[in-house]
Amino acid sequence: MTWLREGISRRGLLSGGLAAAGGTTICATTVALGQPTHDGHGNAPVAGSAPAPDHSGAHGAMMTVGDVDAARNGFDPSALVTEWETGTVSLLPDGRTLRTFEVTAEDKEIEIAPGIMFPAWTYNGRVPGPALRATEGDRLRIVFKNLGSHPHSMHFHGIHAARMDGVPGAGLIDPGEEFVYEFEARPFGCHLYHCHALPLKRHIHKGMYGAFVIDPDPARHPDQADVARSRLLGTPENAGWQEFVMVMNAFDTNFDNENEIYAVNTVAHAYMKRPIRIVRDKPVRIYLVNVVEFDPINSFHLHANFFDYYEQGTTLTPTLRTVDLITQVQAQRGILEFTYRDHETGLYMFHPHQSEFTELGWVGMFDVVEAVA
């Protein structure tokens, strides 16, 4: 495969790879920028929602052509952007909440762009793995089974004992084995988990990662209980927000230690073709995690708006205010809060300000609409 390295740029590989993959072709000049479709992916028709403008221009829309088969993948970016795995809840004898999650490691081929398959290693058959969500102070029990072909683990970014760390000798298990991680959910914030088997970069870029969010317990933060309640899933205050989970990832499709496809939540251009609905009057909160391997930095830029940012989500007051761009290295993460309340309705773009990543799939749209009556 040296000719790939020497002869073809990565952008060339994307279109070349598409042309070569099972008859899928790319013809950018005829592709209109993804129109918002309201077709059963959680988006009902909205009065007054205009079709997307055609930005194709002289250089085309720079987009993949066609659709990824979400049913075959077993996950759909338009659904998992709002999906939380909250586990099974019970009470311990001391009155504390025990929250139990079940996670399996599985080998699985997934389609990351139309016609481009990737031999992933997954948690629960999806990439990213389930977005685990707990409340500060919960006792967490994660029952992890390795049904894959290689040794794997779950290494949580959080506070726990050495023997629960998911590194070799501490919860890293062979195929067919099971391990139970147990620790207290702390600190509150926007965290992640990933496999910590060696070689680490292989186990991460193959797809073994997911978001791990711990909501603050309002009772522990009396000075900012209102803010804490707005972050706590299930409260009326939290229901007033539109929350999304976004894992920025990328795929090395020819195993040359460089990425060919970039995305948020795995599928290139998924949110260009199906913009994420935002009701204009409701504030937006994004739990953003970067897991991209091989590239030292990633970023998130919001168009026509600014946001407040909570680095790692571990504070109840913003660590950055009124910014339209933040950068993240691998495993860096945080919470973005913003509103389009005073904007016109329409399509607002978001993407990293590494233009190459954008052209290779990591770009999306918010479809800001009036509230549906």
* Residue placing its CB nearer to Cu ion in the complex, 99 or 203: 203
Q: Which is nearer to Cu ion, 146 or 259 (CB)?
A: 146
Closest approach of Cu ion to the CB of residue 208, in Å: 5
Q: Between residues 152 and 160, which has the closer beta carbon with respect to Cu ion?
A: 152
Residue where the block lists tokens 């409260």: 235
Beta carbons within 10 angstroms of residue 100's beta carbon: 15
Give CA–CA dist 243/131, Å, rounded.
12
Quote the tokens at residue 12: 């060339």
Is residue 197 close enough to count as binding Cu ion by CB under 5 A? yes
Contact, 76 vs 119, CB < 8 A? no
Find the angle CA(365)-CA(40)-CA(211) to the nearest 5 degrees: 55
When the beta carbons of 99 and 205 are compared against Cu ion, the nearer one is 205
Instruction: State both tokens at 264.
Output: 């948020």
One residue of 112, 195, 264, 336 binding Cu ion per CB under 5 A? 195
Report how far apart, in Å, the C-alpha atoms of 64 and of each of 68, 80, 169, 184, 312 are: 10, 21, 43, 43, 32
Query: Which residues, 6 or more positions from 355, have their beta carbon under 8 angstroms from its beta carbon?
Result: none
Q: CB nearer to Cu ion: give 18 or 173.
A: 173
Interface with Cu ion: number of residues (CB under 5 A)? 5
Least distance in angstroms from the C-beta of 146 to Cu ion: 9
213 belongs to the binding site for Cu ion (CB under 5 A) = no
The nearest distance, CB 264 to Cu ion, in angstroms, is: 22
In the complex with Cu ion, which residue's Cβ is closer, 177 or 370? 177
Task: Please name the residues in contact with 88: beta carbons below 8 A apart, sequence gap of 6 or more.
Answer: 99, 100, 101
- Please choose, out of 70-78, 194-202, 231-239, 331-339, the segment that lies near Cu ion by the rule CB under 5 A: 194-202
Q: Which of residues 146-185 bind Cu ion (CB under 5 A)?
A: 152
Q: Which residue in 193, 209, 181 sits closest to 121, CA to CA?
A: 209
Q: How far is the CB of 331 from Cu ion (least distance, A)?
A: 15
Cα gap 21→16, rounded to integer Å: 9
At residue 222, what are phi and psi to the nearest 5 degrees? -60, -30
Residue 202, token pair as written in the block? 């292989």
Residue 276 interacting with Cu ion (CB under 5 A): no
Q: Which of the ranges 190-198, 225-233, 256-264, 344-352 carries the binding residues for Cu ion, by CB under 5 A?
A: 190-198
Q: How far is the CB of 136 from Cu ion (least distance, A)?
A: 28
Q: Give the H/E segment covering residue 4.
A: helix 2-7
Which of the ranges 24-32, 125-133, 198-206, 281-289 carries the binding residues for Cu ion, by CB under 5 A? 198-206
Pairing verdict, β 139-146 and 97-113: parallel
Q: Which stretch binds Cu ion (CB under 5 A): 65-73, 158-166, 208-216, 261-269?
A: 208-216
By beta-carbon proximity to Cu ion, the closer residue of 152 and 351 is 152
Q: Encoding tokens for residue 8?
A: 């073809």
Question: Distance (Å, rounded) from C-alpha 252 to C-alpha 255?
Answer: 5
| Minimal distance, residue 255 CB to Cu ion, in Å | 16
Closer residue to Cu ion, CB minimum distance, 78 or 122: 122
Q: How many residues does the chain have?
A: 373
Give least dist CB 207 to Cu ion, A. Answer: 9
Which C-beta is closer to Cu ion: that of 43 or that of 124?
124
Q: What's the gap between Cα 288 and its chain centre?
A: 7
> Shortest Cβ distance from residue 240 to Cu ion (Å)?
39
Candidates 203, 231, 285, 351: give the one binding Cu ion (CB under 5 A).
203
Question: Which chain residues interact with Cu ion by CB under 5 A?
Answer: 152, 195, 197, 203, 208
